Structure 1
Amino acid sequence: MPGLLRGVARTAVVAGTATAVSNRVSRRQAGRWAQQEEQQAYQQQAYQQQQAYQQPPQQPAPAAPPAADDMTQKIDQLKQLADLKAQGVLTDEEFEAQKRRLLG
């Protein structure tokens, strides 16, 4: 019986030691993986910041043409419509409809 007890005790010690070593290795490996992931995230962030600094600044949208130019165009078109009406190409109704569309 003492031999059997000694064998069981030895097995328990070996199993306990193996479990402790396995847990320690697992924790160490998890720590290394976490450190690698953290380092990769840091490098990715640094790369993105570098790319953001290297991109040329965006140009502002072109400004809308001044209202004076638009009004000048409308006046010119109204004059053309009046000339066409005077020549008899446009009727009074057509002239009024085009004028309303233009001034609209």
Structure 2
Amino acid sequence: MPGLLRGIARTAVVAGTATAVSGRVRRRQDAKMADRDAQTEVKREQAYADQTAEAAPAPVAPAAPPPAATADRLSQLKTLGELKESGVLTEAEFEAQKAKILAG
């Protein structure tokens, strides 16, 4: 029986050593995978940031202000209205001239 116990003890030692080595290898592999995953995540975030920066719309230029001729048009329309009121222009002439002024 002592030979049997010695064999069992040796097997237990070998199995314990194998388990310890396997555990260390597993921890090392897990650490490497965690580092690789972190690097991959950083690359993914950078690619996303680059992509969204490229896809962002260009700043919109402010709309051009309306032409300064509106004051001039108003004075022309005022004069035209006065001419119509005084009887110099007929309704048809007034409408035709008004359309020309408003068309620019």
TM-score, with length taken from structure 1? 0.51
Corresponding residue pairs, total = 68
What is the aligned partner in structure 1 of residue 39 from structure 2? 39
For structure 1, list consecutive stretches of 5 or more residues without a partner in the other structure. 67-104
After superposition, the C-alpha distances for 1:8-44 in whole angstroms (9 at most, x for unaligned) are 1101101101111111121111111111111110001
Provide the aligned C-alpha RMSD in A: 3.0
What is the aligned partner in structure 2 of residue 54 from structure 1? 54
User: Aligned equivalents of 1:2 and 1:57: distance in 2?
Assistant: 83
| Correspondence 1:78-93 to 2 at 5 A | none
What is the aligned partner in structure 2 of residue 23 from structure 1? 23
What is the aligned partner in structure 2 of residue 3 from structure 1? 3
TM-score, with length taken from structure 2? 0.51
Identity of aligned residues (%): 52
**SS, match of residue 57 in structure 1:** coil
| Correspondence 1:63-78 to 2 at 5 A | none
1:56 Cα shift?
Answer: 4.6
**SS, match of residue 57 in structure 2:** coil
User: Aligned equivalents of 2:54 and 2:38: distance in 1?
Assistant: 24
For structure 2, list consecutive stretches of 5 or more residues without a partner in the other structure. 67-104
User: Aligned equivalents of 1:29 and 1:40: distance in 2?
Assistant: 16
